[in-house]
Amino acid sequence: MGVVNVTPDSFSDGGRYVEPAAAVAHGRRLLADGADVLDIGGESTRPGATRPLVAEELARVVPVIAALAAEGAVVSVDTMRAEVAAAALEAGAVIVNDVSGGLADPEILTVTAAAGATYVAMHWRAHADHMRDFAVYDGPGGVVAAVCEELEERVEAIRAAGVADDRIVLDPGLGFAKRGEHNWELLRDLDPVLALGHPVLVGASRKSFLGALLAGPDGAPREPEGREHAHAVVLAHLAGAGAWGVRVHDVRSARDALAAARMLRAPSAQPDDRSPA
C-alpha cells in the first residue's frame, strides 16, 4: 500500500504532494514501482497534528482519488470522516482506511457498509493532538493484549454496522498512542493480532520509533527518509509473520525487501544439469 499524503504537514513528506497534479504524479510513480493499493489521505495524523476542516480534506483528496481511480488504480482513502469516505467512494475508492476504527465518526461504518467497500480498522485511542496521553498499557498482557481486546470491540461494532467479515482488515496502529517499546512489542508478537481472524495491515514506514533506534551520537533521531534500511528489515519480518499488507512510503525498496524475504523462505532450488557433479 503506497502512501500519497495530500497534506501540508505530514511527518515524512508534508507539502511535497499537496497540489493535486503533484499527488497524482506521485501516485503513478508508486504504481510503477509496484504498489498494489494507493492510500490517499488529506489529514495528517502525526503526533500533535491539528485537524483540517472537512471542506479542506475533501478538496485535497477527491480530485486525486478520481484521477487515479479513473486510470485503474486500486485506491484507499485514509480518513476518519464519514463525509469524506462517502465522497471518496463515489470518486472511485474501494477501501476506507480509518485510523480511528470508527471511534472518531461512527457513521463511517454505515457509509462503508452501504458501499460494500473494504474497511481497515486501526487501533486508536485519541486524536493526534493528545494521543500521547493515552500511551499506557499496564494491564495483564501489556500492549499486545490491550490492542487485541480493543480491536475485537471495534470488529463487533463494524459487523453491527453491516460490514461483511471478509471486508474487515485490522491494523495494530504502530505509533498511535504508543511509545517506541510498545511498537517493538507489537512487531515481535503479531500472532495474537492475526489470531483475531482478519487480514492484518501494518504501517511502520519511516515512523519515529525507527528514527529513535537510529539516533546519532547527539541523540537526534534519524531523519524520516534515512530510516528505509531499518524498515526493510521490519518488512522482511512482517512477511514471515503473516501480515496481509504493509503501508509504505518507498514502494520500490519495500518490494525489494519483500522479494528477498520471499526467496529466503522458498524451498532450496534444485541444481540444474550444468551443476558440477
Cβ–Cβ < 8 Å for 76, 1 = yes
The number of CA neighbours under 13 Å toward the Cβ of 39 is 24
The mean per-residue pLDDT over the stretch 121-135 comes to 90
When mean pLDDT is compared across 9-23, 63-77, 250-264, the lowest value belongs to 9-23
Q: φ, ψ for residue 118 (rounded to 5)?
A: -80, 145
* Whether pLDDT at 273 is above 50: no
Annotated catalytic residue: which of 60, 125, 167, 247?
A: 247
Residue 64 and residue 147 in contact, taking contact as beta carbons nearer than 8 Å? no
The question of whether 178 is a catalytic residue gets the answer no
* Whole-number pLDDT of residue 186: 98
| pLDDT surpassing 80 at residue 162 | yes
d(CA 247, CA 85): 19
Catalytic residue (one of 125, 154, 207, 227): 207
Query: How far, in Å, CA of 46 to CA of 161, rounded?
Result: 28
What residues contact 161, with CB distance under 8 A and at least 6 apart? 102, 106, 109, 110, 112, 113
Is 247 tagged catalytic?
A: yes
pLDDT at 245 over 80: yes
